[in-house]
Every structure is written in structure tokens, then in C-alpha cells.
């Protein structure tokens, strides 16, 4: 029993150290994602448009990124490609969060670590983020 409590504390401390950058044009959805992730102990930053997102990512240095596919100024897939082409950001796991269920296969085929369809449940979002971060740590 004591060991499991220690493991839980270590997992919570590890989660607190993790940083997630959220690219979502809808402020209410961005704040909901932020709330759920902060509830798990993640540090978060939000960007509402794709312009200069790669620069913002380089400055924030997140452990994971969430990207909405449909943005007002650029496609989320385009942002993904830009991040994948940059040596400094290509290894950061990316989870798409979007209303477009029809592009799920495309997003995963591109190399996304996860894909969450809106409207999403708190549990699905958190599980996808945990899974993406866990997979990123595999050798």
C-alpha cells in the first residue's frame, strides 16, 4: 500500500513538470482544455491562431502540443507539418483536437500521437494526453 502511494506521488510530480501548448481558436474550448490539463498538474499555454506558432513553441518548449485542425488563419495540418520539419520541434508529440472526425485517419497517418474529436469528454482528453506523453518516453 505504501509503495502505491509513493508511485502516485511520483506520477503527480512528473505530471506537474510537464508542459502542454494548446493551439485552439475557440477561447471557450481552449480554456476547457487548459482547465482539464491544469487539473492534472500540467503547465499550459494557449495560442488562438496558427501564425508564428512554431516560434511560440520554440520559446515555450512544451512536452506536448494540442492542435485544432480548423483554424481561422492556417490549417492545423499545415502547422503540424511545419513543426515536423523543424529539428527543434519534430520530436514533440502532437494531439489533434477537432470537430472533424473524418480526418482522424489522415492526422494519425501524418504521425500525430493522438486524435480527439469534439465534443470530447474529460476522461478521453486526459487519457489521450497521458498516452501520448507515455509513448513519447518509450525508447
Q: Report the distance separating Cα 1 and Cα 82, nearest Å.
A: 47
Cell of 26: 475557440
- Predicted local distance difference test score (pLDDT) of residue 16: 47
Cell of 57: 513553441
> Average pLDDT, whole number, for the chain?
89
Residue range 67-95, pLDDT digits in tens: 999 999 999 999 999 999 999 999 999 99
From the number of C-beta atoms within 10 Å of its C-beta (0-12, 13-18, 19+), residue 48 rates as middle
Compute the average pLDDT of residues 88-113. 95
Amino acid at each position: 500500500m505504501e509503495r502505491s502511494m509513493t508511485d502516485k506521488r511520483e506520477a503527480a510530480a512528473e505530471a506537474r513538470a510537464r508542459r502542454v501548448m494548446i493551439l485552439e481558436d475557440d477561447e471557450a474550448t481552449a480554456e476547457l482544455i487548459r482547465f482539464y490539463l491544469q487539473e492534472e498538474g500540467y503547465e499550459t499555454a494557449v495560442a488562438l491562431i496558427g501564425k508564428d506558432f512554431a516560434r511560440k513553441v520554440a520559446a515555450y518548449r512544451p512536452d506536448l502540443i494540442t492542435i485544432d485542425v480548423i483554424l481561422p488563419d492556417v490549417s492545423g495540418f499545415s502547422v503540424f507539418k511545419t513543426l515536423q520539419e523543424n529539428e527543434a520541434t519534430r520530436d514533440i508529440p502532437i494531439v489533434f483536437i477537432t470537430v472533424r472526425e473524418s480526418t482522424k485517419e489522415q492526422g494519425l497517418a501524418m504521425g500525430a500521437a493522438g486524435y480527439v474529436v469534439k465534443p470530447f469528454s474529460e476522461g478521453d482528453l486526459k487519457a489521450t494526453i497521458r498516452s501520448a506523453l507515455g509513448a513519447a518516453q518509450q525508447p
